[in-house]
Amino acid sequence: MIHAASNPTETSARYDGYNTGMKDLGRPDLKEKSAQPSFNIVETPMRSATTFFVPPQQQRDRRWWQRIGRPGILILTVGTGAILFCTALLVFLWDGAERARSGHHRAQFWDDIVFGGWTTQLVTICSAGIRVSIGFQIGLAAAAMAAVILETSGSRFCDTAMLSIQRASSSSAGPLDLLPTAWRHCLAGRISGFLYLPVLALTVAIALISILTSTILLFDLDEGQISAPITTSIKAIGFDTADSSPYSSIAYWRSRPLAHWRFAEHRPAEMKTPLRTDNAADTGDIYRAILPYDKASDRTTLEYYHGPSVVINQRTACFPPTFINASIQWDAGERKGVSGLYLNATFVVENQTDFLGKELSKPVQIYCRLHNLWNSTQTAVQSPTALCNEFAMVEVSSKNVTMNPLSGWSYGFRHVTLVTSGEVLNGRAETGMGAAIPPDLQKQLDNLTYRTDGPWTLAYTADGAEVLNTTVCYVSQNLPHKFNVTMTGKAISSEPRFLTELSSLTLLRNETGVLRQLGVGISPDNSTGRGTLDLEVHSGPGLWMELDGKASIQSAYFELWVTLVEYSTLGGWSLAGEFDDTYNDITTTVIWATHPEHAAMFQRIFHETRNPAQALQAIMFRVYQMLYYDWLPVFEPTHEVTTINAQNRVVPQQWTGLIVTIAIIGMHFVLTALTLVLFAKRTESSLLGNAWQAVSQLVSSETQDIIRAAGSEGMKDRQVEVLAKSAGRDKEAYALASSVDNGRTELRVR
């Protein structure tokens, strides 16, 4: 049993001393109070003694984790776990985005987050979890630092109340309030201040920066194109039977393609039929798969395709013809209905029977229009080239000829002739002032001499003037067979722009997207730079028609060829584009001129590569695509395909914000650990989060007079500071120490 007694005399004396001090500080209101006998608190009815029981003294537990308390341990464990878990989620999200951009595999859970639209929500939730956990742990660290200061270096009297409150607050303490105390330690030259100040300053900085965690992380997010999850769908691929013939009545050569459609391509490393290189221009085998998508966005975002597709191999080879006879004459319209300069020739391609077969090695006769008016200043970038064709029913042999390795059928070559007019023919036209071709020139044109230059045969007059450059190009025909294929590649922003401006039909000379797409000016193996897909053909063709249907096959080949090359009353097409001054003749423009887009593509590729086979193949493939996409809405969706398309999603695009956040978290863990180490090593009696201990240890024989004065008068902190200064307490350092009289830990002067 303990008796607690009050000493009225001692209390009165201390309050009298306090009143005297306050009079000196300019508190006149206390003068009157001090003169009244009723001021003595002894006269207030109160108990003189209180009797209560105190449990037996327990041995003081010195273990630091028990002095932190259960709430503190919970904050450390759960908070650290929450921070690490949230950080792991963020790293998982950032790493998945990196994998998605590079085309590597990522987890299904990542796809669920991103394509479910949870990216920003996850970042916000994780940043909130990190921010809250750091806030609680900073509060615990501040309380521990307050305890360290109180039990080691101490502080001036006016700061002891704040330090005790911080120590009792535990998780809600704030390091900002401790900074002035640490700063005063530094000013006083105490070594401890130079440790406490940077720790507290960095802790305050982390507390402030952690508020912006969400903003810092969101700076890394942006909308980007990434591969979507794999999907399976039923698509319309092509002609399922031979009941529908692959031709159309649309004039493709006079029409602009709706797009420069994306495609997939494969070039075999080894060809069963070797490349023709002796006086030839040969593209070799090039397998190209047409994408069965009408929408441009479906084609540009495609990154993976597995299933059937129409694949063609339009191998094109050009050779120099050997002229049997040739004449260049002005036709006033008697034969073709349109006046102009025409070539009437018979020629043969020699030494290519093993490649072309006997049928195509026979003499060929052509009668077609030539260019006779052009601007000579433009010949460096454009040529006055005409395409001559004929539509005789040529049987495509399936035996004793070179075979198309893609289909296993013959190449089915058909020929066209490219003729470029020489300067001697420029300006030859009827003007009403005389014959289009003077008699002396006509005589020279009837007696031409020839020489071979690569795939070209050059014709000259007797005096050496160049008249014609001629090459005969053989194009492999392809019925629309389907193959099981795999296409892979990167999504592209858009398909190539047109080479001609639509409203004025002028040539856009700086546009090179179409050329790159077709492998001009760039390595053909660079599918990413070209914007194409890599193609892998897995199995034999899904035959559009059986090989034993000989008559039907010949008819199909002929119908397809007529559609692809088309018939012109002038015996061919002009490939000069805007270069051709015959556009002044409306009849010629309508009948002979190809669309400027086709002409521009031919001219750009030819002048870039000087390869007529590559330039012609580009046009033939584009026309084949025009035919395919013209029929695409008619196809039946009967084939299952597996695809991956890129989609625009908000994902991390950089690591800067996450790295900053992880650095903040790492620094926070270091500072928190350092603070707890100081607490464990340098404190003994502080129990964090215990308000009564903080209050009881604050009251001692050396502090109770000012504490009572401040409590009874309702003083502010500033007034207490003035009171302590007047009492000479501002120069003293107070710290927790064990009392010699009663053994209790209390605030005493160091």
Shared-domain flag, residues 389 and 295: yes
* Predicted confidence (pLDDT) at residue 688 exceeds the cutoff of 50: yes
pLDDT band for position 62 (50/70/90)? Answer: low
Higher-confidence residue: 267 or 508?
Answer: 267
Domain end point (choices 52, 73, 92): 52
- If DSSP codes are grouped into helix, strand and coil, which group holds residue 293? coil
Higher-confidence residue: 321 or 190?
Answer: 321
Shared-domain flag, residues 200 and 252: no
What is the residue range of 6's domain?
A: 2-52
* Predicted confidence (pLDDT) at residue 548 exceeds the cutoff of 90: no
In a domain, 708, yes or no: no
Q: Would you say 347 and 325 are in contact if contact means Cβ atoms under 8 Å apart?
A: no
Shared-domain flag, residues 170 and 217: yes
Can you tell me the mean pLDDT for 77-101? Answer: 95
Most confident region among 295-299, 329-333, 700-704 by mean pLDDT: 295-299
In a domain, 647, yes or no: no
Shared-domain flag, residues 507 and 478: yes
Of 24-38, 95-109, 583-597, which range is least confident? Answer: 24-38
In a domain, 718, yes or no: no
Distance of alpha carbon 251 from alpha carbon 259, whole angstroms? 16
Shared-domain flag, residues 604 and 672: no
Q: What is the pLDDT of residue 379?
A: 62
Shared-domain flag, residues 584 and 682: no
Shared-domain flag, residues 554 and 660: no
Distance of alpha carbon 69 from alpha carbon 289, whole angstroms? 71
Q: What is the pLDDT of residue 43?
A: 44
pLDDT band for position 473 (50/70/90)? Answer: very high
Distances (CA, A) of 506 to 501, 578, 603: 5, 7, 14
* Predicted confidence (pLDDT) at residue 7 exceeds the cutoff of 50: no
Shared-domain flag, residues 45 and 71: no
Can you tell me the mean pLDDT for 467-472? Answer: 96
The model's pLDDT over 435-456, given as tens digits with 9 standing for 90+, comes to 678 888 888 888 899 999 999 9
* Predicted confidence (pLDDT) at residue 631 exceeds the cutoff of 70: yes
Q: Phi, psi (5° rounding) for residue 332? A: -80, 5
Distance of alpha carbon 560 from alpha carbon 545, whole angstroms? 14
In a domain, 706, yes or no: no
- A 10 A CB-CB count for 143 gives 32
Shared-domain flag, residues 390 and 451: yes
In a domain, 77, yes or no: yes
Q: What is the pLDDT of residue 13?
A: 39
Q: What is the pTM of this model?
A: 0.75
Can you tell me the mean pLDDT for 658-668? Answer: 95
* Predicted confidence (pLDDT) at residue 499 exceeds the cutoff of 80: yes
Q: What is the pLDDT of residue 454?
A: 95
Q: What is the pLDDT of residue 40?
A: 41
For the chain, what is the domain count? Answer: 3
Q: What is the pLDDT of residue 617?
A: 97
Q: What is the pLDDT of residue 313?
A: 95
Shared-domain flag, residues 130 and 99: yes
Distance of alpha carbon 684 from alpha carbon 59, whole angstroms? 13
In a domain, 230, yes or no: no
* Predicted confidence (pLDDT) at residue 20 exceeds the cutoff of 50: no
Query: For the residues of 369-436, what is the DSSP string, one character each?
Result: EE---B-GGGTTT---EEEE----------SSS-B-TTTSSB---EEEEEEEE-GGGTT----SSS-S
Of 64-78, 270-284, 298-312, which range is least confident? Answer: 64-78
* Predicted confidence (pLDDT) at residue 58 exceeds the cutoff of 80: no
* Predicted confidence (pLDDT) at residue 534 exceeds the cutoff of 80: yes
Q: Are strands 466-475 and 572-574 parallel, antiparallel or unpaired?
A: unpaired
Shared-domain flag, residues 433 and 561: yes
Shared-domain flag, residues 539 and 660: no
In a domain, 728, yes or no: no
The model's pLDDT over 245-254, given as tens digits with 9 standing for 90+, comes to 555 667 889 8
Name the percent of the chain lying above pLDDT 90.
42
* Predicted confidence (pLDDT) at residue 57 exceeds the cutoff of 80: no
The model's pLDDT over 230-240, given as tens digits with 9 standing for 90+, comes to 999 999 888 76
Given phi > 0 = left and psi -120 to 50 = alpha, else beta, which region is 311?
Answer: beta
The model's pLDDT over 332-375, given as tens digits with 9 standing for 90+, comes to 877 777 888 899 999 999 999 989 888 888 999 999 999 988 87
The model's pLDDT over 607-628, given as tens digits with 9 standing for 90+, comes to 999 999 999 999 999 999 999 9
Can you tell me the mean pLDDT for 402-427? Answer: 90
In a domain, 407, yes or no: yes
What is the layout of strands, in order, in the sheet containing 340-348?
Answer: 322-331, 340-348, 364-370
pLDDT band for position 585 (50/70/90)? Answer: low
Distance of alpha carbon 490 from alpha carbon 530, whole angstroms? 10
pLDDT band for position 119 (50/70/90)? Answer: very high
Can you tell me the mean pLDDT for 545-564? Answer: 76
Of 118-127, 374-383, 556-565, which range is least confident? Answer: 374-383
Distance of alpha carbon 207 from alpha carbon 133, whole angstroms? 11
Q: What is the pLDDT of residue 640?
A: 94
